[in-house]
Amino acid sequence: MLTWAFWAVALADPSLPVEVGDDEPGLTAAPVGAPAEPAARPGVRFIAERWTIPPATLDAVRAVVNEPLGRRMEAASHDWLGLPYLNEAAGEQDAGDPDPPARYDTFDCLTFVEEVLGLSLSADPVYAPGIRDALRYKDAAPRPDWTRDYNERRHFMEAEWLPDAVQNRLLVDITASVGPSQVLTHEVTVQTWQNWRHTRFFHLPAALYPVGTWSLRYLDLPTAAASVANIPPGALVLTLRQPRPWSPIVITHVSLVVQDDSGKIHMRHATRMGSQKVRDDDLSWYLKHLYDYVNWPSLGIAVYLPREQGPRVSALRPTVLHAPFPDYVPGMLLPSAPAVPPRAVAPTAAAPLDPGGAP
């Protein structure tokens, strides 16, 4: 079994306000160039390549292969409860990001979600890397040596990871079916990237920083709290912060809603809260916790549901949503995408970034 001895990089900018018990810094992958820490932690085994998914995880997923999505997610991630949080736990194993493509001993919030979705949506867990990479990379095909390109990663949640997952029919926005939703619109320009102090950590050509206007449905915190019972098992819950004109990001955390053997619903996530690990939380408690964020106040949440893939679709009962979309046909496995999916529109050519921009 292969092991790796790379160093993991983390976002460690002391000028960034950090809440007590905060979540992610708002990126789908931590920038490169910040202070590093050892990839392996005491007492934790480092299992790293696509063919080294832990055998116990393979067995657990295969045992529930025809169960509902929330149950499959719980089985796929149950043995990972208590594993440590590590920001930027995966990469391309190249100069852009030297981390390995997969780890099963430590996670950040997004690598946790990507791995669980890969295991839960694939026909057999050995094919999980295909789903994971379809979420993570713009180019569906790996290189001949099975490595990936840092420039092809979907680095930014709002402008790349989320809208592409909807476009590629891996996720569907069900926010409006959970409760009365609002639409956030945010414009990102070349100047935005020049002014954002974290841009300097990325090793991307100027043309790859996404610019344009994107829109996103969300539930404000009071509505989310009142509608929590309408969030189905299997859903992804994304945490949004109040938009800032000089920042390209508003989504700072992503978690899963899973269902255990007893039928109990949990929010499961890799988080920096508390002891920094993979843990279960009561979703109602978490929504109350979001009110405590004062340096960067919370805006609310968005809710997405994975689309079942392949032959499993015909074998499963339709997902029951609280309030179907207008074009929802009874018996469909999932509703079609909402009228306002998160997307970048009217892109403009990106000028070279000015390293001397405002901090």
pLDDT tens for 46-104 read: 334 434 889 999 999 999 998 999 999 999 999 999 999 988 877 776 666 767 778 89
Domain encompassing residue 191: 7-315
What pairs with residue 277 in β-bridges?
A: 84, 271
CA distance 115 to 110: 9
Residue 16 CA to its chain's centroid (Å): 21
Cβ contact 300:171 at 8 Å: no
Mean pLDDT of 268-287: 95
Identify whether 337 is part of a domain: no
What pTM value is reported for the model? 0.76
Is 131 within a domain?
yes
**Residue-wise pLDDT tens digits, 143-155:** 666 678 888 899 9
42 within domain boundaries: yes
Question: Do residues 129 and 90 lie in contact, with contact meaning Cβ atoms separated by under 8 Å?
Answer: no
On whether residue 351 sits in a domain, the answer given is no
Provide the greatest CA pair distance for the chain: 56
Lowest mean pLDDT among 21-35, 108-122, 236-250: 21-35
Q: How far apart are CA 21 and CA 272, in angstroms?
A: 6
Dist. CA 328–CA 305, nearest whole Å: 14
Q: Find how far residue 275's CA is from the centre of its chain.
A: 20
Rounded Cα distance between 37 and 27, Å, is 19
Residue 115 lies in a domain: yes
CA distance 268 to 25: 18
CB 2 within 8 A of CB 48: yes
How far is the C-alpha of 322 from the C-alpha of 339, rounded, in Å?
A: 18
Percent of the chain with pLDDT over 90: 54
Q: Which helix (H) or strand (E) holds 175?
A: helix 175-178
Q: Is residue 150 part of a domain?
A: yes
Residue pLDDT, tens place only, 336-357: 333 333 344 333 333 333 333 3
The pair of structure tokens assigned to 103 is 């780890």
Q: Which residues on neighbouring strands pair with residue 215, listed in sequence order?
A: 185
Amino acid at 8: A
Q: How many domains does the chain have?
A: 1
206-228: per-residue pLDDT in tens? 999 999 999 999 999 999 999 99
Residue 212 maps to a domain: yes
DSSP tag of 161:
I
Q: In this structure, what CATH number is given to the domain that contains residue 293?
A: 2.30.260.10
Least confident of 232-241, 296-305, 315-324: 315-324
110: nearest Cα among 265, 280, 236: 236
* Per-residue confidence (pLDDT) for residue 259, from 0 to 100: 86
The reply to whether 120 falls in a domain is yes
